[in-house]
Amino acid sequence: MNRDRTHFLLLNAGHFFDHFFTLIFATVAALALSREWGLGYAELLGYATPGFFAFGLFALPAGWMADRWSRDGMMVVFFVGIGLSSMVAGFAPTPLLMGAALFVIGMFGAIYHPVGLAIVTSTWKNTGMRIAVNGVFGNLGVASAALVTGYFIDHGGWRAAFVIPGAVSIAIGIGYAWLRWPQVRTVSTRSAATSTRVEPTPSADYKALLLRVSVIVFITAAISSIIFQSTTFALPKIFDERLQGIATALADAWKTGGGAGQGEVATMVGMFAFVVFAIASLAQLVSGKLLDHYGPRSIFMSAAVIQVVFFAAMPGLHEGIALAVAFGFMLGAFGQVPINDFLIGKMASGQYRARIYAVRYVVSFTVLAATLPFVAVVYDNWGFDTLFRILAVLAVLILAAVACLPKALPAPEPVGAPA
C-alpha cells in the first residue's frame, strides 16, 4: 500500500474512532451503568450532554488551528488526545468524573470533522465518493461502539470498552505522525499565500444563490443532527426494550451451542445495533456515487422521504418487524450524511475550508448535544413511540427545505485557489 492510500486509510480510521469514542457511553449507560450506579437512563444522559456540547463548540478553534498551523498536526493531536481521555474515562469512579472525562473526549473529538474533512476534500478528486467512503468508516464507528462495548460488558466489564480502544487510538496517532511528519512539523502557509491575492468579487446573482444554498445547508444540518443523534445514541436502549425476545432466544441458542447464554444478551443487543448501523451505512456509498453524477437535490429528497415513512411506521412495533423498520429509517439517516459536506466542499473557498466546515459542525454538534436532554425528557414522559413521531415531523421539515435547493449547484466560487 502506498503512502497516499495509507494516508486516506488513517483519515478514515480517524472518522471511525471519532464516532466510536463518542458513543461508547451510550451502550455503557443503557446496559451497565444504570444497574451498577443505580441511576436511571434519562439521568445518565445528563452526564453525556456536556461532552457533546464540547464536540460542537471546539470544532471552530480546531478548524482555525488547522488552517493557521497544520492540519496533519491537528490529526495527531486528535488521535492521541481522544485515546488518552478515553482511557481516563475507563477509570472514572463516579458519574461526575465520568461526565468530566466525556467532556474532554468531546473536546478532542471536535477536531476530526473540520480538519479531517478539509484534508479529504482538498487532497483527492471524486469528492462525493471520497466523502462517502470516509462517512462509511464514521458510521462503522457508530455501529462498532454498540457491538464492541456490549462484548466488553459481557467479557471483562465496561471499563475495558474505554481503555483498550484508547490505547489503539494512541498507537494510530503515533503511526500518523510518522507517516506525515514533514507536514506535521510545517506551519501552514495558506494564509500568507492568499493574503495578498486580489480576488474577484462574485456577482449579485451568485451571492444570492450562495446565500440560499447556505441557509438550506445549515437548516438541514441542524435538523439532521437531531435525527442522527436521537437514533444513534438511543438505538441500543430501543433494542434493549423492543428486541428482548430475539436477543434472549439467540443467547439461549448460543448457550445450547456451548456459549454463555443469558450473559450474552448485552452482546446480542449490541450485535443488532451493529448490523443495522453497518448495513445502513452503506447507503452513504450509494449517495456518494450519485452525488458525483446527479447532484444533491434529488438524492437529499429521497433520503428525507425514506425517513418520513419509516419513522411514522415505528411506533408500537417490537421484535423482528421493529428491527426491519429500524433498518429503514437508519438507511435514510445515513444516506443523507455526506450531502451537506459535499455541498460545502464544492462551494467553500479552499483556504477557508476547514473553518467553514468548523462552523457547519459547531451548528450540527451544538444541536446534537441539546438533543440528549430532549431525548431524555421525551423518553421519561412519553416513551420512544412519541420520539419516533417527532422525528417523522422533523424529516418532513428537511424534505420541505431541500425542495428549495436549486436543481444545479452554482458554478465553482470565483474566489481563491484550490486548497
CA dihedral 362, 366, 367, 369 (to 10 degrees): 140
Domain assignment of residue 176, given as a range: 3-186+205-402
Lowest mean pLDDT among 49-63, 186-200, 273-287: 186-200
CA distance 12 to 89: 24
Region 364-381: mean pLDDT is 82
In a domain, 239, yes or no: yes
How large is the average pLDDT for residues 137-154?
A: 82
111 — phi, psi (to 5°)?
-70, -40
Mean of the per-residue pLDDT values of the chain:
81
For residue 15, the model assigns a pLDDT of 93
> How far apart, in whole angstroms, are the C-alpha atoms of residue 172 and residue 179?
10
pLDDT above 50: residue 261: no
- pLDDT of 217 strictly over 70: yes
Q: Is residue 192 part of a domain?
A: no
Classified as helix, coil or strand, 347 is: helix
The answer on pLDDT for 311 being more than 90 is yes
Rg over alpha carbons for the chain, rounded to the nearest Å, is 21
Give the separation between CA 276 and CA 288, rounded to whole angstroms: 20
Instruction: Judge whether residue 196 has pLDDT over 50.
Output: no
Q: How many whole angstroms separate alpha carbon 382 and alpha carbon 52? A: 24
Give the mean pLDDT of 362-388: 84
What's the confidence (pLDDT) of residue 195? 46
**Mean pLDDT highest for which of 130-139, 257-266, 336-345?**
130-139
| CA gap 345, 126 in Å, rounded | 11
What pLDDT, in 10s, does the model give residues 22-40?
A: 889 988 887 788 778 888 8
Mean pLDDT on 116-133: 74
Residue 390, classified by CB atoms within 10 Å of its CB into exposed (0-12), middle (13-18) or buried (19+), is middle
Using the predicted structure, report yes or no on whether residue 190 has a pLDDT greater than 80. no
Is residue 409 one of the residues assigned to a domain?
Answer: no
Span 183-202, average pLDDT: 54
Coil, helix or strand at residue 408: coil
Indicate whether 411 belongs to any domain: no
pLDDT band per the 50, 70, 90 thresholds, residue 385: very high
Q: How far apart are CA 395 and CA 408, in angstroms?
A: 23
Structurally, the chain folds into a number of domains equal to: 1
Query: What is the Cα–Cα distance from 53 to 192, expressed in whole angstroms?
Result: 32
Q: How far apart are CA 208 and CA 22, in angstroms?
A: 37
Q: Look at residue 418 in the predicted model and tell me its pLDDT.
A: 39
CA nearest neighbour of 55 among 102, 18, 107: 107
Q: How far apart are CA 90 and CA 96, in angstroms?
A: 13
Is residue 299 within 8 Å of 343, Cβ to Cβ?
Answer: no
Which pLDDT value is given to residue 254?
67
CB 378 within 8 A of CB 313: no
- For the whole prediction, is pTM greater than 0.75? no
C-alpha to C-alpha distance for 121 and 127, rounded to whole angstroms: 6
Q: Report pLDDT for 393.
A: 95
Q: What is the CATH number of the domain that holds 268?
A: 1.20.1250.20
DSSP letter string, 263-298? GGHHHHHHHHHHHHHHHHHTHHHHHHHHHHHH-HHH
